[in-house]
Amino acid sequence: MVDLLDYLKPDRVILLDASGYESILKQAVSLCAGNAKLELNVLQSIKASSRTNAPQDINLGKGFALVHARSDEASDITMSLGLLPKAIHLIKGDLVQALFCIILPNAKSRMYLSLLARLGRLLNQEDAVEVFQEARDRLVAGESNECAKIIIDYISAFESA
């Protein structure tokens, strides 16, 4: 079974500069992609999807959102988490405070479904909103290690339950 800790690494959690949708998207994708070619490929894919009425950015509610894209340039599933200094209207629906970005190769669709189901259950935990807000506050205060620790500890507890 998938383990969220295999995908969400401490160095892939950042504070996003809340300077508009395009900029936020670029920051999240850049961190997740890890290289310029894949980043460009994914950004183009996301823009194209919005024109075909099949948007790849999803408001999950309770302050969480997800942007995801497939790319043959990707060798494995990668995930990043961007936290916003304060909750904002980013994608239609609830205010967003945390944006997950996931890039996957076409051949990993099933694993991605498993990952998504597990992530969904994590974010539906009663205390998830509170924990991610606490992590965000630490990040805003410049305590990036503490922020990552809060999130990783939370996921670890979920995985071992």
Partner 1 sequence: MKLMIIILKDESLLDRISSILLEVGLFDSSVLDGESIESLSDEGLPLFASFKSLFGKEYSYNRTLFIPVGDARDIKVFLHICQKEGIDFSNPEKACLMTLPCQIYDGSNGDSL
Contact residues for partner 1, defined by CB under 8 A: 1-2, 107-111, 113-114, 116-118, 120-121, 161
* CB closer to partner 1, 44 vs 114: 114
Measured from the CB of residue 153, what is the shortest distance to partner 1 in angstroms? 19
Question: DSSP letter string over the chain?
Answer: ---GGGT--GGGEEE---S-HHHHHHHHHHHHH-SHHHHHHHHHHHHHHHHTT--SEEEEETTEEEEEEE-TT-SS-EEEEEEEEEEE--SSSS-EEEEEEEEE-GGGHHHHHHHHHHHHHHHTSTTHHHHHHHHHHHHHTT-HHHHHHHHHHHHHHHHH-
Measured from the CB of residue 113, what is the shortest distance to partner 1 in angstroms? 5
Measured from the CB of residue 78, what is the shortest distance to partner 1 in angstroms? 17
* CB closer to partner 1, 85 vs 105: 105
* CB closer to partner 1, 6 vs 22: 6
